[in-house]
């Protein structure tokens, strides 16, 4: 009887120890897996931006704009290096927008929504840095607060980007139809 009881206790202790070790292993693997997931999602956005270049060079400006619009990465990240890459990526996307309008209009058009989108992207970069600091400090309250601010910024930024892309699309369609009419006469 005593042997059975000791055997049962050993089995229970072994199971508890096994589950504990598995939980440690999974928690250690969770962060690198999350970082890999973040990086892969960002790479998809980067590929879309490259696709927009292909469409742009082939003269499919509407498709290029759609790819550019889908290339903005507005998810919070937990990697400092990736945060910097995203800031550079967004700057490159805005530069592509300027290049498209310059190509079509010879630089004679002002994009009124560009300033607002640029300002919101700069604010987003600062909020992202604050979020990284809150993650480093393991401050759950600060993380929630900054995530909420990032969500608000994301909503405002989506509206600003929609306005910017609508503005550029109007220019593209106007210039494309004018070029078509000139060729027809």
Name, in order, each residue with C-beta under 8 angstroms of 72's C-beta and a sequence gap of 6 or more: 45, 90, 93, 157, 161
Q: Please report the pLDDT score of residue 19 as a whole number.
A: 76
**CA 1 – CA 161 distance, rounded (Å):** 74
- Cβ–Cβ under 8 Å, residues 38 and 79: yes
| Residues spanned by the domain of 7 | 2-184
**CA 160 – CA 163 distance, rounded (Å):** 5
Supply the pTM of this predicted model: 0.76
SS3 label, residue 134: helix
Structural domains of the chain, count: 1
**Angle made by CA atoms 24, 29, 32, in degrees to the nearest 5:** 145
Q: Which residue has the tokens 């300027």?
A: 98
**Angle made by CA atoms 83, 28, 43, in degrees to the nearest 5:** 30
The H helix count followed by the E strand count for the chain is 5, 0
Cα dihedral 82, 85, 86, 88 in deg (nearest 10)? 160
**CA 141 – CA 138 distance, rounded (Å):** 9
Read off the tokens for 123: 């604010």
Q: What is the pLDDT along the chain (185 residues), one digit of tens a residue?
A: 778 878 887 887 887 778 777 776 666 665 666 777 888 999 999 999 999 989 888 888 888 888 999 999 999 998 888 999 999 999 999 998 888 888 777 666 678 888 999 999 999 999 999 999 998 888 889 999 999 999 999 999 999 999 999 988 887 777 666 555 554 54
């Amino acid at each position: 009887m005593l042997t059975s009881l000791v055997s049962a206790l050993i089995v229970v202790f072994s199971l508890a120890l096994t589950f504990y070790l598995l939980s440690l292993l999974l928690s250690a693997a969770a962060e690198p897996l999350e970082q890999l997931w973040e990086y892969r999602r960002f790479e998809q956005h980067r590929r879309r931006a490259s696709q927009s270049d292909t469409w742009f060079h082939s003269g499919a400006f509407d498709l290029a704009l759609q790819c550019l619009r889908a290339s903005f990465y507005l998810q919070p990240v937990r990697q400092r290096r990736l945060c910097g890459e995203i800031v550079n990526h967004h700057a490159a996307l805005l530069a592509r927008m300027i290049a498209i309008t310059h190509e079509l209009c010879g630089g004679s058009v002002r994009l009124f929504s560009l300033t607002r989108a640029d300002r919101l992207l700069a604010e987003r970069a600062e909020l992202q840095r604050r979020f990284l600091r809150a993650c480093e400090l393991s401050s759950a309250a600060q993380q929630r607060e900054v995530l909420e601010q990032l969500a608000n910024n994301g909503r405002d930024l989506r509206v600003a980007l929609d306005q910017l892309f609508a503005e550029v699309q109007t220019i593209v369609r106007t210039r494309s139809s004018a070029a078509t009419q000139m060729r027809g006469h």
